[in-house]
Amino acid sequence: MQEAIIQAVVEGKDVLALLPTGGGKSICFQVPTMMMSGLCIVVSPLIALMKDQVENLNKKGIPALAIYSGMSFPDIKKTLQNAAFGNYKFLYVSPERIETNVFKEFLPAIKPCLIAVDEAHCISQWGYDFRPAYLHIARLREQLPTVPIIALTASAIASVQDDICERLLFSKESMRFRQSFARPNLSYSVLTPASKQKKLLDILQHVKGSAIVYCRSRKQTQELSDMLQLHSINADYYHAGLDSATRTRKQEQWIQGKINTIVCTNAFGMGIDKPDVRVVVHYNMPDSLENYYQEAGRAGRDNQRAYAVLLSDPPEMEELGKQAAMRYPSLASLKELYNALMNYLQVPAGIGEGQVFDFDVNHFTQTFQLNKRLVVYGLQALSQEELIYLSESTFKPSTVVFGCSKSDLYEFETQHPELEELTKCLLRNYEGIYDFTANVYESHLAKLLHLPVEDIKGQLKQLHRYQIIVYTPQQEKPQLSILKNRMYQDDFSFDMDRLQLQKKQFEERAKAMMGFVENRTKCRSVQIGNYFNDDTIQACGICDNCIEQRTENLTEKEFAAISANIIQLLTASPLSAQTLLEKFPDALPAHVWKVIHFLQAEQIVGTNPAGTLFVRK
């Protein structure tokens, strides 16, 4: 559909394009921009994706720029000046940057010909990844009413599609394009193994080529990567806690085939164009079919056979069912959090609008002895209500991992006693920090050691210079802005109807995800297509459910032929089950197994101590 989408954009129409992962979304705004006079503003939530696309465009001789968190003010201003007065075709920005005064100041001079909104589901409060900052994009439309908008996403249900168009103020002449959600070459499977590690090893040993393994936690990525390496699988790990240079290096090594398997959190994969991924394994269950479809869809973009395997277990299903209560706090919890926050910032009732504070979420949580996860979700809810605004770095603390041997550490501590207290404190308070990267809070360490925060930062930098630890400081100071005057305690109000609707949406998504896992009969591709309102998909014939259906349909003639061949082969010589399966390249492995199990049950075939099969006399 790329040509039709490009044509609609060139004609000046607003466009919503739903293209699956790997469907070539970037082409749909890059090509029309090259055909038009002016610059395209691309709104994207992912810094890594922005950098990759800018780098790729520049390599092609197409001048492009990006503004993202961590840039200094002079660099931001220079970039905007280049966008306004230079010969540039693309300016990538995060949604948070649109509302800054410096961006508004330069916008009239930039004169964009197109606004592209990537990951457009983020603008919908019914989307699985709603981000309040995305709502600011509509203000661009108000300032630039004649500039067309193209909104792109890989996965959005009907209600989210409607919400995207409404929030971006699409014109009546707007157009929607939706590719089929079918992936004919991708075989989906859901397994519930006794041992996930054993099953993961089995999958990676039998499916040759590039692989992605998605995990829930950063710690787990390194643990699984280490386990795979012990079994001679060429693997490495990746998560957002690693420094930028390390992430880039690991990503490049995987893209170039120097690493076969990357074990990662969902921070990996966005915007990466590697067509020959043969298998994507979800070691933990995603919380929505939207996320699962996007991540699984990174396999088999070369249209060759590929596999998406989800490893589930009952406790994970139970945990997903309980997540809604944590993610969407009660009115009483929000009121308690709001008052604690205002007291922490020392803002009296009736004032505060426009004030900006440096904000340490960990120090706040400890001061009021609050549950960390409830605080994170509660602050996000207050932000969505536009009572407060949190900078991008609020939930991205500094990280530390030890980079020396224990004997070297002991020797170092004897030579530098002034730093020993800090190394001991790190080891005591951050479990696993010797082997795994940990989030650390300088304010917490300062409190434990009764030292100023700046002294702690200085000591951490010293340890880093001595290569005792790898210390990655927080890129910029987290800040919290108050958008409305502090409410009086008795007048606290919050749109709970909206929050309850969001909670209901989350519960429905979780229920759909659990239903997908539990449904052992309906084709996996059809289930996914139906979820996204695509009723055109036919049974794929290659997912676990389709294969099971075909296995059940083993005819008497097929059974007799396979049985006779097995007996003939084993009469000649005992064989292992794997070797025996390889003797039937044209039969379904499940059919061969079914016959083997029957022959074993009938005492026609036995297994000797070496594990090979033989015909009983």
Report residue 281 as tokens: 């394994």
Cβ-count burial of 403 within 10 angstroms (0-12 exposed, 13-18 middle, 19+ buried)? middle
What pLDDT sits at residue 458? 94
**pLDDT attached to residue 393:** 65
Compute φ and ψ for 284, nearest 5 degrees.
-125, 155
Q: How far apart are CA 325 and CA 271, in angstroms?
A: 32
What is this structure's pTM?
A: 0.76
- Read off the DSSP letter of residue 140: H
Question: In which order are the strands placed within the sheet that holds 398-402?
Answer: 438-440, 398-402, 469-472
Helices (H) and strands (E) in the chain, counts: 25, 21
Comparing CA positions, the residue from 149, 135, 146, 125 lying closest to residue 99 is: 135
Q: Name the residue type at position 510.
A: A
- Cα(99)–Cα(136) distance, integer angstroms: 7
Of 221, 247, 485, the C-alpha closest to 348 is 485
The answer to whether 11 touches 147, Cβ cutoff 8 Å, is: no
DSSP secondary structure string for all residues of 444-465: HHHHHHT--HHHHHHHHHHHHH
Quick one: pLDDT at residue 219? Answer: 87
Per-residue model confidence as pLDDT tens digits over 396-430: 778 898 988 888 999 999 999 999 999 999 999 88
**Residue 102: what pLDDT?**
86
pLDDT at 22: 67
Which residues of the chain carry a pLDDT beneath 50? none
Query: Which residues are within 8 A (CB) of 378 and not within 5 positions of it... i.e. 6 or more apart?
Result: 329, 333, 334, 337
String of DSSP letters for 13-52: --EEEE--TTS-HHHHHHHHHHHSSSEEEEE-S-HHHHHH
Residue pair 124/167 in contact by the 8 Å Cβ criterion: yes
pLDDT of amino acid 41: 95
SS3 state of residue 358: strand
The percentage of residues in the chain with a pLDDT greater than 90, rounded to a whole number, is: 50
What pLDDT is stored for residue 535 in this prediction?
84
Q: Which among 603, 598, 570 has a CA at the least distance from the CA of 584?
A: 570
